[in-house]
Structure 1
Amino acid sequence: MKNLKLKWKLLVSYGVIFLFLLILGITSLSVINMISKKSVEYAEEIVPVVEEIGLARRNMISVRRYLLNAMIANNAEDYQRIQDAMNTDREAHMLLWIRLRQPTRTTPLPSMPSGKNYRVYRNTMHKSWS
């Protein structure tokens, strides 16, 4: 390196810096792409589940409220009205529960052992006995 002219020393040093910046840029773009894919996956799989769980919890609280109101009902007409409303909310809760238990993916994931039959229920892995 002592025998090279100043021009070549500067070109080599700037070339090394440019190479490092190029590697850094490519790495940054790949990481941004990976984060983008994870955020889309999060928005499509996790957020809807949280919303459905919130609805299920609201329905369970409604059923509990109707049961307490039925305990303090004064007459048969109030009791029947409360019971009808409670049955409607119970049916809505059961429909949500059935929808939550439906598998979203039946194909093996890369992290799953091969040859096994697994089902994924909203990011929870269960082994099938079939």
Structure 2
Amino acid sequence: MENFRRDQDQECIKTVVEKLQNKLAGHRYPFKIKFCVIKVTIETWLLADERAIGNVVGQHVPPVMGSLEDIENPKDCLMQILTTAKVGYTDEKAGQIAAAADLEKIAYRCPGFNRFREDIQDC
């Protein structure tokens, strides 16, 4: 099964799915295609595990308090944490944080992650 995943990026989820479906219109695939649109950016999930961030930057990072999925600019928040630790935000650093992250902690702090995980489990 092929999945097309992207974040909502402030668009209506229905509109995002329709755009993706239109891109595939007229194409045939020998597998099922399932669309999964997450409401938040990946940085929201990365903020859930301060230990993973701390491991990547090499110093203690305090937890981000409150509902992570309500943070308006999670990428800016993560960039600020990394800047404070004198580490620049790059795709590589984000990947390192993701690799070190505890998925159960992300699931606990970000209910949307649970929905995403359920959507992709049959892939």
TM range, smaller chain:
under 0.3
**Bigger helix fraction:** 1
TM-score of the superposed pair, with normalisation by structure 2? 0.24
Determine which structure has greater relative contact order: mean sequence separation of CA pairs < 8 Å that are 6+ residues apart, divided by chain length: 2
Report the structure number with the largest CA radius of gyration: 1
TM-score of the superposed pair, with normalisation by structure 1? 0.23
